[in-house]
Amino acid sequence: MSAENIIRIQAENVNFYYGRHKALKNINLDFYNNKVTSFIGPSGCGKSTFIRLLNKMNDLVADTKTEGNIWLDGENILHDKADAVKIRRKVGMVFQKPNPFAKTIFQNVSYGLEINGEKNKKIISDKVEESLKKAALWNEVKDRLADNALKLSGGQQQRLCIARCLAVEPEVILFDEPCASLDPISTNKIEELILELKKQYTIVIVTHNMQQAARVSDWTAFMYLGELIEFASTDKIFTVPKEKKTEEYLSGKFG
């Protein structure tokens, strides 16, 4: 059997509330290993809220409630006792706005290793180099690793954030509109990178851009007002959507 059918993450009957506002309504969804799954849908439909459940980032938001199960390697990560630190090391995240630390380029990447207790300088610097190479940034920064990361361009900063994430060796990577603030050339670089990374990682990407979803993803989930309206292979959803709402969204009738 090909890797096609290996389910990596399984969401069951997931509901999520910000205070009284129900932001996710009974979401059921499977993520496949070494595939790219994209989330599309109009702003405010709950895409970020959903993927932030996958690495427990919503735990940081006060006054929220979660129901349902999300299974990752046999563990229900929504369970109160699930170890957030361990899960976040397994499920990395790249944010909408590039958010490198106000530290050097090197320190940005080494940070994750250091908090994991890695002290060996050689191991750290090898890992930093390897991660920067994987993020297709090494050639641009190899002579200026001691520069403040905030001096980099937006696109470079975002690739640095990807490198920083790769350094802790996650198995799943979440991208929340990673190109939203980038120019077309930088966007193109990130897309190529995602296609490269999928060989090794399971990838989830939120995007505002339907073409981007079509270009990079194997599976596409369309959300609307907190509901998962349709989930299918990207080919199918873009050519023969089953739901009327999906078709309207894809043809630009709203959004």
Partner 1 sequence: MRNYKEKIIQILLTSLAFASLFFLIGIVFILVKESIPIISEINFLEFLFGKEWYPSRQPPQLGIFPLITASLLVTAGALSICIPLGVGAALYINELAGIKQKKILKPLIEILAGIPSIVYGFFGMLIAAPFIQKIFNIPTGLCALTASVMLGIMAIPTVTSISEDALSSVPKSFKEASYALGANRIQTLFKVIIPAAASGISTSIILGASRIVGETMTVLMVSGGAAVVAKSFFVPVRPMTSTIAAEMGEAAVGSPHYHALFAIGLILFLITLIFNAGAEHISKKYRIKLGLGR
Using CB under 8 A as the binding rule, whether residue 112 contacts partner 1 is answered as yes
CB of 117 to Mg ion, least distance (A): 33
Query: Do residues 173 and 89 make contact, with C-beta atoms less than 8 angstroms apart?
Result: no
Comparing CB distances to partner 1, the nearer of 151 and 242 is: 151
Q: Which stretch binds partner 1 (CB under 8 A): 10-18, 72-80, 89-97, 209-217?
A: 89-97
Query: Residues near 137 by Cβ (< 8 Å), separated by ≥ 6?
Result: 156, 159, 160, 162, 163
Using CB under 6 A as the binding rule, whether residue 207 contacts ligand ADP is answered as no
The C-alpha atoms of residue 238 and residue 233 are separated, in whole angstroms, by 9
HSE of 194 in the Cβ direction (CA atoms, 13 Å)?
32
Q: How many chain residues touch partner 1 (CB under 8 A)? A: 29
Comparing CB distances to partner 1, the nearer of 6 and 61 is: 61
Rounded (5°) CA angle 176-5-52: 20
Q: Which of residues 17-46 bind ligand ADP (CB under 6 A)?
A: 18, 21, 23, 41, 43-46
Q: Which of residues 48-87 bind ligand ADP (CB under 6 A)?
A: 48-49, 61
Q: Which of residues 13-72 bind Mg ion (CB under 5 A)?
A: 48
The C-alpha atoms of residue 250 and residue 255 are separated, in whole angstroms, by 9
Comparing CB distances to partner 1, the nearer of 101 and 138 is: 101
**For 6-50, what is the HEC assignment?**
CEEEEEEEEEEEECCEEEEEEEEEEEECCCEEEEECCCCCCHHHH
The C-alpha atoms of residue 157 and residue 161 are separated, in whole angstroms, by 6
Using CB under 8 A as the binding rule, whether residue 146 contacts partner 1 is answered as no
CB of 142 to partner 1, least distance (A): 22
Comparing CB distances to ligand ADP, the nearer of 44 and 116 is: 44
Query: Residues near 153 by Cβ (< 8 Å), separated by ≥ 6?
Result: 186
Determine which residue in the list 11, 23, 57, 237 makes contact with partner 1, applying CB under 8 A: 57
Using CB under 8 A as the binding rule, whether residue 88 contacts partner 1 is answered as yes
Closest CA to 55 of 175, 221, 189: 175
Using CB under 8 A as the binding rule, whether residue 93 contacts partner 1 is answered as yes
Contacts to partner 1 by CB under 8 A: 55, 57, 60, 62, 84-86, 88-89, 92-93, 95, 97, 99-103, 111-112, 114-116, 148, 150, 161, 164-165, 168
Contacts to Mg ion by CB under 5 A: 48
